[in-house]
Amino acid sequence: MSDIYTKRKRSAVMSRVRGRDTKPERAVRKALTALGFRYRLHSPNLPGRPDIVMAGRRTIVLVHGCFWHRHDCAKGRSTPASNADFWLHKIARNVERDAEQIAALRKLGWKVITIWECETRVHERLVAQLRKRIR
């Protein structure tokens, strides 16, 4: 199947895809605030510029998109029909980079919590999960 957009339009669409302040990330930040936790965003001093850093607790919260980081859910298991080799390689490299960054953070003494996009949909469940995993 060919792309329905021109190269210029596809470029414009893809340029609007952001890696920070995503809806799942905002949901996690809202839940952390509701629990009374204080945090910093995208610390440049740590490997991979983690999404959320709670320095006082030596805890990092990574918010991953299911598709982009290969979660074991329906969205994470899907594979694009067009240009599949490119996307499989790109996503495999994301997973590899995640493992490298998590290992580096743990080596520095940080606790790393990964929250998946599909886990952010119900606020009450997200709050309960964060409470359990952080304390």
pTM for the predicted model, two decimal places: 0.86
Q: Is the pLDDT of residue 3 over 80?
A: no
* Res 126: pLDDT: 96
Structure tokens, 86: 């490119």
Which pLDDT tens digit goes with each residue over 58-79? 999 999 999 989 999 988 888 8
Q: What average pLDDT does the segment 32-50 reach? A: 96
What's 43's domain CATH number?
3.40.960.10
- 74 lies in a domain? yes
The rounded distance, in Å, linking the Cα atoms of 105 and 11 is 34
Helix or strand run (H / E) with residue 132:
helix 123-134
Confidence band of 1 (pLDDT split at 50, 70, 90): low
Residue 73 dihedral angles phi and psi, to the nearest 5°: -130, 175
- 87 lies in a domain? yes
Q: Is the pLDDT of residue 120 over 60?
A: yes
- 9 lies in a domain? no
Please state whether beta strands 59-64 and 40-41 pair in parallel, antiparallel, or not at all (unpaired).
Answer: unpaired
- 6 lies in a domain? no
Q: Is the pLDDT of residue 128 over 70?
A: yes
Please, what is the average pLDDT of the chain?
Answer: 92
- 11 lies in a domain? no
Q: Which domain holds residue 31?
A: 19-134
Query: Taking a C-beta distance cutoff of 8 angstroms, is the pair 113, 133 a contact?
Result: yes
The rounded distance, in Å, linking the Cα atoms of 43 and 71 is 24
- 14 lies in a domain? no
- 1 lies in a domain? no
Confidence band of 35 (pLDDT split at 50, 70, 90): very high
> How many independent structural domains does the chain possess?
1
DSSP states of 54-93 as a string?
EGGGTEEEEEE-HHHHT-SSHHHH---SSSHHHHHHHHHH
Q: Is the pLDDT of residue 123 over 80?
A: yes
- 31 lies in a domain? yes
Q: Is the pLDDT of residue 107 over 90?
A: yes
